[in-house]
Copies of this chain bind each other. A is one copy, B any other.
Amino acid sequence: KRQAFLKVFNEVNTHMRKIFALLSPGGEAYLVLQNPDDPFAGGVDINASPEGKKVKSPRAMSGGEKSLTTLSFMFAIQQVSPAPFYLLDEIDAFLDPANVQRVAELISDLSEKWQFIVVSLRDVMIARAKTLIGVYSREGISNTIRLNLEDLVKVLTSEGVELE
């Protein structure tokens, strides 16, 4: 039981270290057992230092830093036993454009092996996708339409919205 747990724990940790280093260059994040001698007597902490300096207290971390740390944990868990497809709904809500770009690139790489279906409101994320599915509603009725990137530009600018 303990062996099985430690095996998975170490796998998640290995993936998390690698992924966080991609999402937060120069930084590091990893899991820590609160009770290394008896894992089940404690929980699992995350130690994160986004800029590679001293570990940041979780309370003081910014919304985006917590988001990147949490996303690294999520992707790491997925990588331990990958599913053939993933649906991620607005995981980029608290990321600045540069970080959205890093997550988009990670998803783009992973999507060579596993299918990703990503709901996003962020152009930086959307621009990285291979296939764009536009959802719209008229009088409360939803429908979809295949879009290419030129359509997207037209849709966003015709609504008088400057591109982000």
Interface residues of A (CB under 8 A from B): 51, 53, 63-64, 90, 93-98, 100-101, 121-124, 127, 137, 139-140, 156, 159-164
**Interface class of chain A by DSSP:** loop
Given A93-B94, A94-B93: A123 and B51 within 8 A (CB)? Answer: no
Given A53-B139, A93-B93, A140-B53: A98 and B162 within 8 A (CB)? Answer: no
Among candidates B124, B140, B160, residue contacting A164 with C-beta atoms closer than 8 Å = B124
When C-beta atoms are compared, the residue in chain B nearest to A101 turns out to be: B161
Query: Complex: how many Å from CA A100 to CA B161?
Result: 9
- Residues on B with C-beta less than 8 A from A63 are 90
